[in-house]
Structure 1
Amino acid sequence: MTTPLTGTAESRPAAAAHQARRRRPRSEILWGYAFIAPTGLGLVIFYLWPVLQTAYFSFTEWGAFGGHTWTGLENYTRLLSDPEVGQAVLNTVLYTALGLLGIPLAIVFAALMNRPRLRGVGLYRTAFFLPVVTMPVAVAMLWRWLYNGDYGLVNQVLAVVGIDGPNWIADPATAMYALVVVGIWSSVGYNLIIFLAGMQGIPKELYEAASMDGAGPVRQFFRITLPMLSPTAFFVSIVSVIGSLQLFDLVFVMTGSGQAARANPAYSRLQTVVQLFYERAFVTDDRGYAAAIVIALLVLIAALTFVQFRLQRRWVHYA
């Protein structure tokens, strides 16, 4: 019978760190909490408390002149049977899934810009990153003009080659894909910069050794660059999914809201969860139901993020 060893080499650093923390004077610990207190209070006041308050309001019904009454699960029961909510969730998930196509596009552009002795790389970075720093309202107004079915630049270019382009935002067959193009165009620059930083952190010795073994640029990309970019791609995918699920400004500016937006034939194909929340909270003044919608969105984001973390762990396990 054997007994487990105690005080092994692996456990000694952890034990020493624990003893060091115990020997710290109380004043030093208090100063540490004092330094993080402003940030902690800001998180509690501006993030945690609104979430808790919204969760409470999701179980209430608001009157026309203010005030609310407790209704229990009535809002959530109504939410599960509301076809407009189901369509908004479907639109949001579809936009999110199609928007992920911008990640491999950003990787390809980053790999092209990471080549040694590339001239004008600073100009390329600026051109790609410019849509990221542009106001979303300005981006939406620009693309709304480009997609116009009567005088939009896209249809004018297509007319030169004999193609009669549709009214991209008003056509249910093309509205979602047109919106996805705008989303990818406005976010690919941010993803490109992140991937470019990740590529520049890959040791050059790996590429030199691969070149000595006869591996060409394409094989080096798939055998070295992509595997080493796995953590970066995971981060970008998390940020992209969360941002896509919260889509509002592009749809709001390009389609409007209220009766003007509902007059659009493609309105049901473009309405997102956040836009539905806005209309229920600020247009129809159904705040309790709107709170239930946004809590459901929070659960959806948490669930998809959890799935992504699980897939990442499995990827690392098999890699």
Structure 2
Amino acid sequence: MTLSREGAGVATAPAPVAQAGPSVRPRRRSPSADGYWPVLFILPLFAGVALFYLWPLAQSAYYSFTQWGAFGGTTWIGLDNYIRLFSDPGVLRSILNTVIYTAILLLGIPLAVIFAALLNRPGLKFAMVYRTCFFLPYVAMPTAISMVWRIIYNQDYGVLNSALRVVGIEGPAWVSTEWFALIAVSIMGLWMSIGFNMIILSAGLKAIPTELYEATSLDGAGRWRQFVSITTPLLTPSIFFLSVMTLISGFQLFDLIYALLGPTNPVIPKTQSLVFMFYNAAFLTNDKGYASAIAMFVLVIIAVCTFLQFRLQRRWVHYVD
């Protein structure tokens, strides 16, 4: 029997029968379905970064355009601090000292590559003891290390000058002569950094597949060829990381100069770094506006150098696939 719609005799199709067990597509989880829990978990981290990094950075940027009074208070002076910074003859010498120290510090990376490769040879006995001895200067206090190096650099009874006298050379006053003082600080910094570099490079060496060495040894490659063609290229990610960290720490040179030479050393004006110059302006002469301008200048130099390093690393850094 058919039913008509309003008497028109139009047949209607029977209602579809619902099948048992309909398939229901699972809904995608909305990004906001977790609520505020992710924000609450990362809030302490962002609060610490904002409180201890971003806020002091913003304050330093503001204070670099001001002049501080003798009893506090600031006066807006615009670009006067930066004009004074770029016209100060001591700034150029401080930049030169910082660059020389950083360049000598970078020499520790190829030295650490050689030492790390030697200490990672299979079958080497007491390798952990050697690594510990290399790493101890890095974790020791700079003040304690400086006291030891003061004895080494002593002009009258120091170990270094005594060794030079054996070969007929009269050693200089290392910590009170203009250029020798900077070299003395650089050598001490180089000695302290090799241990950290070796630890990073040792981890990079363990990530290199051993199959590469086995394949090249079957082809007749010796240890030196393997070091040049496999070890060094595949260590470039670790070398790149160390170059970035070394450059940043080199431009932050302060504690070694303060501990080894001392703030009253007459050679300080010719040996000081940019950060030491910041210390003098901020805490000795109470010129915090000018000190903030120096700090922002150091920040810009580090940022530009790091940016260039990341741009250039595409040409020489090789990653293991």
Task: Tell me the TM-score normalized by structure 2.
Answer: 0.88
- Determine which of 25, 31, 42 is the counterpart of 2:37: 31
Q: 2:280 & 2:290 partners in 1: Cα distance?
A: 11
Partner in structure 2 of residue 234 of structure 1:
240
**Is the counterpart of residue 53 in structure 1 residue 54 in structure 2?**
no
Q: 1:309 & 1:25 partners in 2: Cα distance?
A: 33
Q: 2:29 & 2:138 partners in 1: Cα distance?
A: 48
Partners of 1:110 and 1:196 within 8 A in 2: yes
SS in 2 for 1:119: coil
Partner in structure 1 of residue 102 of structure 2:
96
Q: 1:269 & 1:25 partners in 2: Cα distance?
A: 59
Report matched runs for 1:241-260 at 5 Å: 241-257=247-263, 260=264
Partner in structure 2 of residue 292 of structure 1:
293
Partner in structure 2 of residue 9 of structure 1:
none
Write the letter of the residue equivalent to 2:191: W
SS in 2 for 1:181: helix
SS in 1 for 2:36: helix
The worse-fitting range, judged by mean Cα deviation, of 301-310 and 172-181 is 172-181
Q: Note the aligned Cα RMSD (angstroms).
A: 1.8
Write the letter of the residue equivalent to 2:301: L
Structure-2 change in CA distance of 1:25 and 1:90 (3 Å):
closer
- Determine which of 194, 216, 220 is the counterpart of 2:200: 194
Q: Quote the offset at 1:223 in angstroms.
A: 0.4
SS in 2 for 1:165: coil
Report matched runs for 1:152-301 at 5 Å: 152-257=158-263, 260-261=264-265, 263-264=266-267, 267-301=268-302
Partners of 1:175 and 1:269 within 8 A in 2: no
Structure 2: 5+ residue stretches without partners: 1-25
Count of aligned pairs: 294
More helix by share: 1
Q: 2:206 & 2:145 partners in 1: Cα distance?
A: 30
Q: 1:268 & 1:282 partners in 2: Cα distance?
A: 16
Q: 1:113 & 1:302 partners in 2: Cα distance?
A: 34
SS in 2 for 1:142: helix
Q: Cα deviation per residue 1:157-211 (whole Å; 9 max; x = unaligned)?
A: 2223332111112122422222211011001000001001100110000000000
Write the letter of the residue equivalent to 1:175: A
Partner in structure 2 of residue 303 of structure 1:
304
The worse-fitting range, judged by mean Cα deviation, of 307-316 and 53-62 is 307-316
Partner in structure 1 of residue 16 of structure 2:
none
Structure 1: 5+ residue stretches without partners: 1-19
Partners of 2:179 and 2:271 within 8 A in 1: no
Task: Tell me the TM-score normalized by structure 1.
Answer: 0.88
- Determine which of 110, 131, 152 is the counterpart of 2:137: 131
The worse-fitting range, judged by mean Cα deviation, of 175-184 and 188-197 is 175-184
Partner in structure 2 of residue 40 of structure 1:
46
Q: 1:25 & 1:286 partners in 2: Cα distance?
A: 50
Write the letter of the residue equivalent to 2:49: L
Q: Quote the offset at 1:308 in angstroms.
A: 0.7
Write the letter of the residue equivalent to 1:186: M
Q: Quote the offset at 1:280 in angstroms.
A: 0.4
Partner in structure 1 of residue 20 of structure 2:
none
Q: Which has the larger radius of gyration?
A: 2
Q: Cα deviation per residue 1:206-229 (whole Å; 9 max; x = unaligned)?
A: 000000000000000010001111
- Determine which of 78, 81, 102 is the counterpart of 1:75: 81
Q: 1:93 & 1:64 partners in 2: Cα distance?
A: 34
Write the letter of the residue equivalent to 2:59: Q
Partners of 2:237 and 2:317 within 8 A in 1: no
